[in-house]
Amino acid sequence: MGCKHPEMVEKLRTKLDTWWKEVGEIANEPQRVVIGHAAENPMMLTACEWLDVFIDQQKQVRRADLKNGWWELEVAEEGEYEFELRRWPRGTGLSLRDSLPATPVTDGELEKGIPLEITTARIRIGRFFGRKKLPKNANHATFRARLAKGKTRLHTWFDDSRGQPIVGAYYVHVRKFS
């Protein structure tokens, strides 16, 4: 069975080829998220922006997809930064270990959230590395680091009681202090 509109297919293929010639060399370069700029301070990073790892739906967060990635960042200004690592969005009030009930939505239901035995949080950004033991009811872990202006990577981990990584922070709130 042949194509019903071969001329349209050829036209679209030509457009795609032309576009790819323009962007091909930079298509796989990381797009950095800018932190510390006055236009957006504080700001929130999500796992949706991890490089080469896909956590882009709330159902993945709820079912605790055990994935991790990192953020490619551009630090707008040198200074003191605060990083608040979370598993759940701020407004939920849930602890890092909590599950979440199933929630009705317009087109069905978001599944129940899975509990995780998170006992420790870790962060690495630039030359800074931090680790914190967390109380059972903690809903976030906060770290402060002095950062230089320029490109860097942010890595986060939530670990279990054996010190084994479980998952990265799905949400990180970043604030630069004046």
Each residue's pLDDT tens digit, 10-29: 999 999 888 888 887 777 77
With tokens 């939920």, the residue in question is 92
Q: Quick one: tokens of 7?
A: 């001329």
Within the chain, what is the greatest distance between any pair of CA atoms? 66
Q: What is the pLDDT of residue 1?
A: 53
In angstroms, the CA 102 to CA 53 distance is 25
Give the model confidence (pLDDT) of 17-61 as tens digits.
888 888 877 777 788 999 999 999 999 999 999 987 878 788 888
pTM: 0.84
With tokens 């630039």, the residue in question is 126
Domains and CATH numbers, the chain: 31-176 (2.60.120)
User: Is pLDDT at 103 greater than 90 in this prediction?
Assistant: no
